[in-house]
Amino acid sequence: MDAINRCITIVQRRVFFQDWLTATGRSMLVGLCVAGGLVLADRLLAVVVGGWVYALIGVAVVGAGVLGAWWRQPGRHAAAVLIDQRCALKDCVASALYASTLDGEPMARSVVDDAEAVAQRLSLKSAFPLRLTRVWTYAPLVTVGVLLLVVFLPEMDLIGVIRASQQKQSQQVRADAVQQEVLEAVTAVEQVTDAENKSDDSLEDAMKELAQISKQDLTQPELQRDAAAKLSQINQQLAQESQDRKEMFQSLQNTMSRLDPEVSGPADRFVDAMRRSDFDAAQDALGELAQSLDEMPGQDRQALRQQLDSLAGQLQQAASGHAQRAQDSQEQMRQTLQDAGMTEQQIEQTQQQGLTSDEIERMLTEQGLTSEQAQQLTQQIREMQQQRGNHDQNGETCEDLASALSRLNQQSDGQGSQQSSYDEMAKQLSELAKMQQELQKYRTARQQTQEALDQLYSQSSKPAIPPGTAEGGDPLGEERHIEPTQTHAVGDPNQGQGRVIASWMSDEGAVKNQAGVEFDQAVKEARDEAEQAVTDDRVPRRYHETVREYFNQMPQSPDQIKTPPPAPR
Q: What is the pLDDT of residues 553-568, one digit of tens each?
A: 666 555 555 555 555 4
pLDDT, position 428: 84
Count of Cβ atoms closer than 10 Å to residue 228 Cβ: 25
CA distance 224 to 210: 11
CA distance 311 to 429: 14
Counts of helices then strands in the chain (DSSP H, E): 19, 2
Whether this prediction's pTM lies above 0.75 is answered by no
CA distance 347 to 363: 11
pLDDT, position 29: 92
pLDDT, position 197: 46
User: Tens of pLDDT along 2-29?
Assistant: 888 888 898 899 999 999 999 999 999 9
pLDDT, position 493: 39
Model confidence band, residue 218 (pLDDT cutoffs 50, 70, 90): low
- E-assigned strand segments in 172-264: none
Measured at the alpha carbon of residue 122, what is the angle toward residues 121 and 126, in degrees to the nearest 5? 140
Domain extents in the chain: 2-152, 511-569
Check the CA dihedral 490-492-496-497 and report its sign: positive
Average pLDDT of 336-356?
A: 74
pLDDT, position 522: 64
Least confident of 92-101, 347-356, 393-402: 347-356
What is the crossing angle of helices 2-44 and 51-72, to 10°? 150
Most confident of the following: 18-32, 170-184, 353-367: 18-32
Average pLDDT of 73-83?
A: 88
CA distance 551 to 543: 13
Residue 508 has pLDDT above 50, yes or no: no
pLDDT, position 30: 93
SS3 category, 295: coil
High-pLDDT (> 70) share of the chain, %: 73
User: Tens of pLDDT along 436-463?
Assistant: 888 888 888 878 788 877 877 776 544 4
Q: Give the C-alpha distances (Å, rounded to integers) separating 186 from 47, 191, 231, 466.
A: 41, 9, 9, 19
Count CA atoms within 13 Å of residue 555 on its CB side. Answer: 12
Higher pLDDT, 293 or 86: 86
Question: Which is nearest to 262 in space by CA: 319, 303, 316, 320?
Answer: 303
Model confidence band, residue 203 (pLDDT cutoffs 50, 70, 90): low
Question: Which is nearest to 4 in space by CA: 122, 102, 110, 127?
Answer: 122
CA distance 399 to 490: 38
pLDDT, position 60: 93
pLDDT, position 56: 93
pLDDT, position 445: 81
Most confident of the following: 171-175, 381-385, 540-544: 381-385
541 Cβ contact list (under 8 Å, min separation 6): none
Count CA atoms within 13 Å of residue 446 on its CB side. Answer: 21
Average pLDDT of 273-300?
A: 85
CA distance 431 to 330: 27
pLDDT, position 537: 54
311 Cβ contact list (under 8 Å, min separation 6): 259, 261, 267, 271, 274, 402, 405
Least confident of 51-60, 212-221, 431-440: 212-221
Average pLDDT of 499-523?
A: 46
Question: Which is nearest to 452 in space by CA: 233, 242, 243, 241?
Answer: 233
pLDDT, position 563: 52
Q: How does the average pLDDT of the chain come out, rounded?
A: 76
User: Tens of pLDDT along 90-118?
Assistant: 888 888 888 888 876 788 888 888 888 88
